[in-house]
Amino acid sequence: MAYVLLALVIVGVWLFCLFDVITTDEGEVRHLPKFGWFLVTLLGFLPGAVLWMAFGRPRPVDGDRENVLWPPAAPGGASSPPPRGPDDDPDFLRDLDRRLRGDEDK
């Protein structure tokens, strides 16, 4: 049972790295072209995945490790704020409260 679990973890790490290579922008990849990292990760299996994680993944800008994936870089270098949920919008909450109380005509 432990071997099956270990095998699933290894395959999961490999698949994560493979999809990470595919979804990373060409300009952010380090040391090799994107296709080269794809081949290393695909054919190298676990060692290729470890190499991708150590040497190929994009580094965070200015040492900011919290926002590695978000916000995505907008064209021109400007960053946009993350999307807000309806529960963060005061107008939506006010309208919802009004509808729940039955004040539809106001």
d(CA 102, CA 106): 10
Question: When comparing pLDDT for 47 and 72, which is higher?
Answer: 47
pLDDT averaged over every residue in the chain: 80
Average pLDDT over residues 93-100: 88
d(CA 44, CA 51): 9
d(CA 7, CA 1): 10
First CA to last CA distance, the chain: 64
Average pLDDT over residues 65-94: 65
10 neighbors 3 (Cβ within 8 angstroms): no
Kindly report whether the global pTM for this prediction surpasses the value 0.85: no
Average pLDDT over residues 84-93: 80
Nearest to 18 by CA among 38, 34, 43, 33: 38
Distance, C-alpha 41 to centroid of its chain:
18
CA atoms within 13 A on the CB side of 96: 8
In this prediction, residue 57 carries a pLDDT of: 83
Per-residue pLDDT for 29 more than 90? no
Domain boundaries, given as residue ranges, for the chain: 1-60
Contacts of 17 (CB under 8 A, 6+ apart): 41, 48, 49, 52, 53
What percentage of the chain carries pLDDT values higher than 70?
75
Per-residue pLDDT for 102 more than 70? yes
